[in-house]
Each structure stands twice: as C-alpha cells, then as structure tokens.
Structure 1
Amino acid sequence: MNILITGIHGFVGSNLVMALGKEHVLYGLDIVAPEKKGVLKTFSWKDVEAGQLPVVDVIIHLAGKAHDTKNTAQAQEYFDINTGLTKKIFDFFLAFRTQKFIFFSSVKAAADFVVGDVLTEAVIPCPKGPYGESKIAAEDYILSQKEKWENRKQVYILRPCMIHGPGNKGNLNLLYNLVKKGLPWPLGDFENRRSFTSIDNLCYIIDGLIQKNVISGIYHIADDESLSTNELIEIMCNVMGKKPHIWKVNKGFMTGCARLGSVMHLPLNLERLQKLTENYVVSNAKIKAALEIDRMPVHAREGLEKTIRSFQ
C-alpha cells in the first residue's frame, strides 16, 4: 500500500518506517524534510495546504506536541499543533480516496488518573491540562465529521500509554539515569501498577490495522502486563548487572517530605510523588478482540529489557 506518515522523523515514526518499509511505499509529512531511508519522499505542511500530497491508501497521523513534563510550554501551542494539524490532515483525508486514517491520541486524552482498577474505552474523557485537552479536542473533531466517513472509510483513534523502545526520550530515560548512578529509590513502600507500550507491540498493532478489516473506533493501546515501579527498577538493574537499591521508606514520611517540597519548590513535591507512585493500568482487550488475537507478541518485561539495553 501507499502510506503517508506524519511526524515521520520522530521516535514512533522512525520505528514505523523500519516495520512497514519493506512491504509498503512510505511517504512522510513533517516540519523538517531530510531524506530518510525507506521513505520515498517527505512533504511539508505547506504541501497539505497546496494540495500537493500524493493520494495514498493509509494516513498515520503521529505529528503532535509531546507532553511537557516541565510545564514550560504555552497552552496554545498544544492546541495549534495537536488539534490544528489533526484538523488539517483529516480534512485532506476526507477530500480524497484514502481509505484508512490512524490517529495517535493518548490515554491522557481520556484520563489524567485512573478511577477504579483499569482504564477502558468506556471511560467518559476528563483530561487535565492542555496536552490531554488538545488531544481530546482533536478526537472530537474527527468524530464530529463522522457522517462524512462512516460506512465509506475506516478511522482509528488510538490512545497508547507510555510508548518506549530504542531511540525514545522521556521519563523512562530519567529513571534509568537515576538508577545508573546507583542512587537509592526511596519510594519502595509504594506498590503501584502501571501499563507500558512496547514499540514492537505498537508496530504490530499498526500493521494489523493496515492489513485487516478492523471496525472503526477508539482503541486503548498497552502491553498485556502491568508492572510496578519497583519491578521496573529491578529490570533496569538486571540489564545493567547492578544490585537494585530500593528503600521502603514509610509512605507517611515520604508524603510529608513531598508536602514540604511543594512549599519549598523542591524536586520531590506532592504532584511528582503522585505521578511516581500512582496506579495507571490500561486495558488492551478491545484492540486484541478487534485484531482477533489472544496476546501481544512481546511481553512487557521483554520489551522493557530491550529498551533499557538500547540506553546503554
């Protein structure tokens, strides 16, 4: 097939090129357009406005502004990019014979924290902050155009949780650097569960959506298994050949330290403590049912080990 990937020079885009390039003709769309092995040509966003993009079978829309954990980005930037670019490329999709549109949203568009045991597609979206709000606004725009594509085209809104793999940058790298230095992890008394998404599992899902006749809809994306932060640190240490230093400091004491950190603007504050220790388990049952599979091909632990080895 002929496939257009927006944000093709990013982490996920680069991995999709490697996964799909052998069997499909790939085009790119990005803010920069250097030559890329496996990509026939990369276009700019001005080419969308000029109607100069090739007519393709599938559009995979990755381009967006990532969640800024340092909170330095302006709110409008998220809406200009995450919502505005989605509208632009989706309007192009509607105007031409392209049959499949795969939009990368985020679980943060559904919920900043999980109420109950697991996050499913049945949740009523309640994002917090401009990142999640801009993503749900993009989702809403796609759904508002449903009468134009329903029964004619296939549209998939994907909400992956934390994606990781060789070449990614983010919170996983920060934790790795902490563990690499041999610094102790003082939050071992908190036993949380979190879902992750291996880039290999993600590429497998995208290939399935391209190849199979899957019903349009919203799908949450995650590995089959959830892991605790303590288990994650143990995995990192095993890969590095180090002994994990996990301190089970009393929860109440650590919460008190975080409360003090909020007042004194220290690295460990209440908001960060919550993010580090909260449960965030995401169900992948719907996407597996749609693809008619029982399990994802890569175990969560196996995927994380591969990612950690790439950091070395």
Structure 2
Amino acid sequence: MKRVLITGANSFVGVNVEKWLLQTPDEFIVETVDTMNEAWKKADFAKYDVVFHVAGIAHVDPKPKMAPLYYKVNRDLTIEIAKWAKKHGVKQFIFMSSKIVYHASKSLKGDVITENTKPHPNDFYGDSKLQAENGLRKLESSSFKVALLRPCMIYGLGNKGNLPRLAWLATKTPIFPAWHNKRSMIHVYNLAELVRQVILRELSGIFHPQNKEYADTVEIVRYFAKKYNKKVWITVGINPLVWLGSFFLKSICKMFADSCYDQKISTYDFEYQVVKFEESLKDVEARKNMK
C-alpha cells in the first residue's frame, strides 16, 4: 500500500492522476493539498510514502515582469516542499516538469529530442522548471528518490488547452494548409499510468512520457472536421502563408513546427500507454479559442 500526497489541489493532472490511482484502492491511498498560503505545511507529511508535486504556473506567454513569480512558484516552492518532504521521511518525490526545459518553439524549424539533447530553455517558464529540477537533484539520496517528469502536451476530457481549440478551428475554417508535422502529445490517462508505475516500482530519474503515436496537426483537423460533419479543404496552396505567418505569430510555430521526442527515450520496461491516440481524441470537445 502506497500513501500518496498530491501537492496542487484541483489541477487537471492532479485530479486525473488521483482518480487513476484510486481505481486500485488496495494499492494506493491518495490525498491532495493546496499549496496556496502555505496550506501544505498543515499536512502531516510523515504519513506519506510519495509526494507528487504538480503545483506550478503554466506556460501562458506571460510578460517579463512576471518572471520573479514564475521562479518563486515553479522553482522555490518546489524545492521548499521537497525539503519539507525529505525532512519528514517521504521516500519518493515526483515532480511535474515539462518538455519546455529543452526550449519553446519560436520558428518552424523542427526538432526531435533524443537522449543526447541537452536542456536549453529559451524562456523563463522553461528555465524556472529546469532550475527546480537541478535543486531537486541536490536533495536526492538513497532514502529520498526523485523522479522528474518532462511530459509533452497533455490533453484529455475537461482539458482547456490547445487541442480543444484546434478542434474548434476544424469546425470553423473552410480551408487548411497541408503542412504535415510530427508532434509528441500524451493523454492524461497515459501520463497517470506512468506515474502509477513510477510509484509502484519506486523509480527515480528523468522520464519523457508520450503517446505511442505522433500527432499530425493536419490529421487532427481532418479528424475533427469529420467528427462534426464539416467540410475542410486541405491544400498545399496556402502553405506559403504558414511560412510567412511564422515570422509574426508564435501560434503558427506552435501549431505547425515539428516538436517531438524520439520514441526510444519514452520506452521503459513497463507499459504505460494504455490509450491509443485516435481513441483518445474522443475525449476532446471543440472549444472556442478565447484569450
């Protein structure tokens, strides 16, 4: 029986991981705690085997003046909670980092992250996550294992991220560029199963979870157009507009640039990809792309 504390109440990942683990109540006891206003200090860490830390500020293209807050929450709070956990006898600390520690896509130049790729963040969101990782590594010992998760884009039922917005776009646009790409993504159930395996096997190290299949922006649009009975003309004729637009709009790069992990670094001696990509898209509902 593993006793797990999730720090970061009501987060999309935290809620889904909690539900996933509780499907096997003979294996897990799971509780959550908020990290606002030091509420986490009121929890009795001594009774937990594992802390799964998901609290943090998300990547929302913030203004530079917000940088200190990102470091305070994503780096300083993470390390402070980890020190507290170690002091109170927690045996394993799992940190939700991000693929963004490598860099954020700011051009159409594609990238494939391999085992030889070194982290090199190009914004303070990625840097705050990487600095948190570095701080956690210094705390690791034989009695305090640290697992660093660097997931790609996470999606699933109830998520309000870019995938629902792309689904919405597929229901509105009559034409779409045939700009094919490879994108690493992960359904939240696949991520939750990886967390489950990391806990049960008491693992440490760096993990790069992703779906078995790469996503293609064009095929995603085609899928949702069909789902909502919309006709979309997909043509290479407007591909030059993608190239031109990439110099002015960051969203173009995020949508069309290759960005993926080599599948080799996402493969372990256990299975965690429990949901196939096309099947997982059924969880996604079109959502208007609002600011």
TM-score tier after normalising by the smaller chain length: 0.7 to 0.9
**How high is the sequence identity, in percent, across the aligned residues?**
28
The answer on whether the counterparts of 1:118 and 1:280 sit within 8 Å (CA) in structure 2 is yes
* Runs of at least 5 residues in structure 1 that lack an aligned partner in the other structure: 33-43, 263-268
Distance 2:264 2:89 in 1: 31
In the alignment, is residue 196 of structure 1 matched against residue 185 of structure 2?
yes
Preserved contact between residue 111 and residue 260 of structure 2 (Cα < 8 Å): yes
In 2, distance between residues paired with 1:209 and 1:309?
33
Give the Å deviation of 1:278. Answer: 0.5
Distance 2:46 2:227 in 1: 44
Query: Taking structure 1 as reference, are residues 108 and 257 closer, same or farther at Cα in structure 2, changes over 3 Å only?
Result: closer
Q: Aligned residue for 1:84?
A: 76
Amino acid at match of 1:197: I
> Does residue 232 of structure 1 match 2:210?
no
* Match in the other structure for 1:297: 274
| Partner Cα separation in structure 1 for residue 13 and residue 242 of structure 2 | 36
The residue number in structure 1 matching 2:259 is 280
Task: Give the total of aligned pairs.
Answer: 282
> What pairs up with 1:225-264 in 2 under 5 angstroms?
225-257=213-245, 259=247, 262=248
Q: CA deviation at 1:115?
A: 8.1
CA deviations over 1:57-83 (Å, ceiling 9, x no partner): 111000000001465871112111111
Q: Residues 29 and 187 from structure 1, CA distance in 2 versus in 1: closer, same or farther, beyond 3 angstroms?
A: same
Distance 1:70 1:138, change over 3 A: closer
Letter of the structure 2 residue corresponding to residue 203 of structure 1: A
Q: How far apart, in 2, do the equivalents of 1:51 and 1:179 lie?
A: 45
Cα distance in 1 for residues equivalent to 2:234 and 2:129: 36
Give the CA deviation at 1:52: 4.7
- Counterparts of 1:236 and 1:258, CA distance in 2: 24
The reply to whether residue 212 of structure 1 matches residue 181 of structure 2 is no
8 Å contact kept, 2:33–2:39: no
Q: Determine if the alignment matches structure 1 residue 29 to structure 2 residue 48.
A: no
Q: CA deviation at 1:157?
A: 0.1
Structure 2 residue 135 is the aligned partner of structure 1 residue 141: yes
Secondary structure of the structure 2 residue equivalent to 1:169: coil
**Structure 2 SS opposite 1:3:** strand
Higher RCO, 1 or 2 (CA under 8 Å, sep at least 6)?
A: 2
* TM-score (normalizing by structure 1): 0.81
Residue 45 (structure 1) aligned to one of 38, 48, 55: 38
Judge conservation of contact 1:110–1:126 (CA < 8 Å) in 2.
yes
Q: 1:258 to 1:199 in 2, by over 3 A?
A: closer
Taking the aligned partners of 1:252 and 1:310, their CA distance within structure 2 comes to: 27
Matches of 2:52 and 2:174 in 1, distance apart? 41
2-structure distance, mates of 1:219, 1:257: 34
The amino acid across from 2:174 in the alignment is P
Does the 8 Å CA contact 2:53/2:95 hold for their aligned counterparts?
A: yes
Structure 2 distance, partners of 1:115, 1:96, is 46
Go from structure 1 to structure 2 and tell me whether the alpha carbon gap of 1:284 and 1:310 turns closer, same or farther (over 3 Å shift): farther
Q: Deviations over 1:267-299 (max 9, x none)?
A: xx2x3322221101113534532x433x72221
Is this contact kept in 2: 1:239–1:308, CA < 8 A?
Answer: no
Q: Which residue identity lines up with residue 19 of structure 1 in the other structure? A: W
Contact 1:236 1:308 in 2 (8 A): no
Distance 2:245 2:19 in 1: 45
Where do 5+ consecutive residues of structure 2 fail to align?
none
